[in-house]
Amino acid sequence: MTDDITDLSGSNARGRSVDASELAKFEAMAAEWWDPNGKFKPLHMLNPVRLDYITSRIAAQFGRDARSLRPFEGLRILDIGCGGGLLTEPMARLGAEVTGVDAVERNIEVARVHAAQQGLDIDYRATTAEAIAEEGGQFDVVLALEIVEHVVDPADFIATCAALTRADGAMIVSTLNRTAKSFGAAIIGAEWIMRWLPRGTHEWNRFITPDELAAMMAQAGKPAVDRRGMVFNPIRWDWSLSDRDLSVNYIITGVDAG
């Protein structure tokens, strides 16, 4: 991985899902990953709900007791687009052997420093999902959260994620639905009004509907077995999971078709 993000354009076979213009956005924000009031404030607010969902699905898939001290001991987890490690670190604390990958080298630098400060042993790599797949990587769980809307070819990226997931494993993907409500919440609200994120962080036409994502996962051999909305309540100022409202943020689990 070089500091020149133009080397990571769609023409690079080792990182064909990577969009150089999207990388540039996150390169500029990398130093703020662990600031709960910085540019990643929305993810810090959303993180507890994402973690609740992920831990419950992994525990269900592998018959683990999520209430135990290290329920994911012995499991290999890959966090694609890990950023500064907001999800990677909790997975490591729960006992998993965790690999975090991100195409933005500065994100990995931040993640490594923070993990070391916390005394966590995490395999962070400045690379791409495609490169890990070319190495023959196989994981019990593959996480791809808030990244599929930023890649060049979502269907190809999902196929790579599926290839990285063991036959009896689980692939968990979250993204934004392409609705008028998501435009209002994620772009007008989060970027223009609240200024939680810089303008242009998201492009509404790149958002993906739950049915579209489920179809990609099924085509890749990891059909959806569960889908939930992640809903923000502006009155209580918190997030919750919903079985019905997938109109803005949502998360889907896919497992082997066989």
User: Is residue 102 annotated as involved in ligand binding?
Assistant: yes
CA-to-CA dists, residue 195 to 24, 25, 32, angstroms: 18, 15, 15
The one-character DSSP state at 193 is I
Q: Map tokens 């494993």 to a residue.
A: 169
Whole-number Å distance between alpha carbons of 242 and 252: 12
User: Is residue 227 annotated as involved in ligand binding?
Assistant: no
**Helix segments in the chain, DSSP class H:** 20-27, 41-62, 88-93, 105-117, 129-134, 154-164, 180-182, 210-219
User: Is residue 189 annotated as involved in ligand binding?
Assistant: no
Whole-number Å distance between alpha carbons of 244 and 160: 29
162: left (phi over 0), alpha (psi -120 to 50) or beta: alpha
Whole-number Å distance between alpha carbons of 28 and 23: 9
Q: Which residues pair with 231 in a beta bridge?
A: 240
Whole-number Å distance between alpha carbons of 239 and 3: 36
Whole-number Å distance between alpha carbons of 91 and 99: 10
Binding residues for S-adenosyl-L-methionine: 50, 81, 102, 145
Detail the residues annotated as belonging to a binding site: 50, 81, 102, 145
